[in-house]
């Protein structure tokens, strides 16, 4: 059995080369493990034939442990320590749609979905805004706003704790303001250029202020799922963000919001967007529907 550090991988491949490929098990820097046969080495890439993934090329800098059945053992000094990028990377998006009619009809509609994220190796900050405003003949027909902010502190490459704040208003649903403060645990299941997937669980405290209905406050359990997938060399982007809070008090609500859609790039940074927003309140004020939904088509910018 052979246990090696990344600096020994090149020597291992050279010394153990044989007519038959060697069975091996690799442990990567993100904690993933891949089993297969070492079939070669190209520059700083290790070529592995995996029963699950087929023929893959793995950067040697990502290999932290290599086990083979060759029976040799090497213990070499590290010559090329890995370079850790400690810089903060920023990304964001903004999608806008609207109509402004005058003449035989007089109505306005504006939808805005914007977000900003700052990512460092050990922390992440995220800020998001949803706005939906509409008027017809001078009367408001929609006025919904949602602002969220979150700070993640990574305990390891995939596990983190977070603190979050949410503020929501919906004038036509009698809701002046609902604030939510929460904290909990999250897991970044996947994070690369093609796929981002994370889940979260935590505890929240909600405070609701209504125009007519009685105000209320209560603790709740919170769950979240965030997913983004890029297809066809980033020609199509699918995204889905879900958030659920469930209060245990008899007067508490179960609240669910979901944002799902596609972005299709049309120029550098610009895209066409189709988005479906859903909001659900299990116990709204009297005369208010529990479900709100919006189907939005717009033009966006991503960086």
Q: What does the pLDDT read at residue 13?
A: 47
Q: What does the pLDDT read at residue 178?
A: 97
CB atoms within 10 A of CB 133: 17
Lowest mean pLDDT among 59-73, 95-109, 170-184, 206-220: 59-73
CATH tag for 89-302 (out of 2.60.40.10, 1.10.3720.10, 2.40.230.20, 2.170.120.30): 2.40.230.20
Task: Report domain extents, the chain.
Answer: 6-68, 89-302
Pick from 259, 264, 220: which is nearest to 241 by CA? 259
Residue 186 has pLDDT above 50, yes or no: yes
Architecture of domain 6-68: Roll (2.30)
Per-residue pLDDT tens over the stretch 216-248: 999 999 999 999 999 987 789 999 999 999 987
Element (H, E) at 202: strand 195-210
Give mean pLDDT, residues 133-156: 91
Between residues 250 and 84, which one has the greater pLDDT?
Answer: 250
Give mean pLDDT, residues 167-178: 94
User: pTM for the full model?
Assistant: 0.70
Residue 86 has pLDDT above 80, yes or no: no
H-type alpha helices, the chain: 9-15
Q: What does the pLDDT read at residue 80?
A: 52
Between residues 42 and 90, which one has the greater pLDDT?
Answer: 90
Residue 79 has pLDDT above 60, yes or no: no
Which residues touch 269 (CB under 8 Å, ≥6 apart)? 301, 302, 303
Give mean pLDDT, residues 93-108: 82
Q: What does the pLDDT read at residue 52?
A: 75
Per-residue pLDDT tens over the stretch 27-40: 887 878 888 888 87
Residue 98 vs residues 113, 131, 264: alpha-carbon distances, Å: 12, 11, 19
Give mean pLDDT, residues 276-286: 92
| Helices and strands, counts by H and E, the chain | 1, 17
Q: What does the pLDDT read at residue 98?
A: 86
Q: What does the pLDDT read at residue 267?
A: 87
Lowest mean pLDDT among 34-38, 115-119, 211-215, 247-251: 247-251
Between residues 288 and 68, which one has the greater pLDDT?
Answer: 288
Pick from 221, 275, 265, 271: which is nearest to 243 by CA? 221
User: Would the CATH topology of 6-68 be identical to that of 89-302?
Assistant: no
Q: What does the pLDDT read at residue 73?
A: 37
Q: What does the pLDDT read at residue 196?
A: 95
Give mean pLDDT, residues 177-184: 97
Pick from 58, 68, 73: which is nearest to 28 by CA? 58
């Amino acid at each position: 059995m052979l246990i090696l550090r990344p600096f020994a991988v090149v020597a291992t491949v050279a010394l153990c080369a044989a007519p038959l490929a060697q069975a091996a098990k690799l442990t990567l820097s993100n904690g993933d493990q891949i089993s297969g046969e070492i079939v070669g080495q190209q520059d700083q890439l290790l070529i592995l034939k995996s029963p699950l993934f087929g023929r893959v090329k793995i950067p040697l800098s990502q290999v932290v442990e290599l086990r083979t059945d060759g029976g040799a053992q090497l213990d070499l000094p590290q010559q090329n320590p890995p370079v850790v990028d400690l810089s903060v990377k920023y990304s964001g998006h903004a999608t806008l749609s609207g109509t402004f009619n005058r003449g035989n009809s007089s109505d306005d509609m504006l939808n805005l979905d914007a977000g900003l994220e700052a990512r460092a190796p050990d922390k992440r900050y995220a800020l998001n805004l949803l706005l939906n405003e509409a008027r017809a003949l001078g009367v408001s027909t929609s006025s919904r706003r949602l602002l969220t902010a979150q700070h993640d502190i990574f305990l390891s490459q995939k596990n983190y704790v977070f603190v979050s704040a949410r503020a929501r208003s919906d004038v036509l649903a009698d809701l002046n303001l609902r604030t939510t403060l929460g904290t909990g645990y999250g897991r970044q299941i996947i994070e690369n250029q093609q796929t981002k997937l994370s889940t979260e669980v935590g505890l929240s405290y909600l405070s609701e202020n209504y125009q007519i209905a009685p105000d209320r406050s209560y603790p709740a359990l919170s769950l979240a799922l965030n997913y983004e997938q890029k297809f066809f060399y980033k020609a199509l982007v699918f995204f889905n963000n879900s958030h659920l809070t469930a209060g245990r008090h008899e007067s508490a609500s179960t609240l669910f919001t979901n944002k799902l859609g596609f972005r299709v790039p049309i120029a550098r940074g610009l895209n066409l967007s189709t988005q479906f927003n859903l909001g659900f309140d299990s116990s709204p004020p009297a005369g208010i529907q529990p479900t709100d939904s919006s189907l939005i088509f717009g033009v966006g910018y991503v960086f």
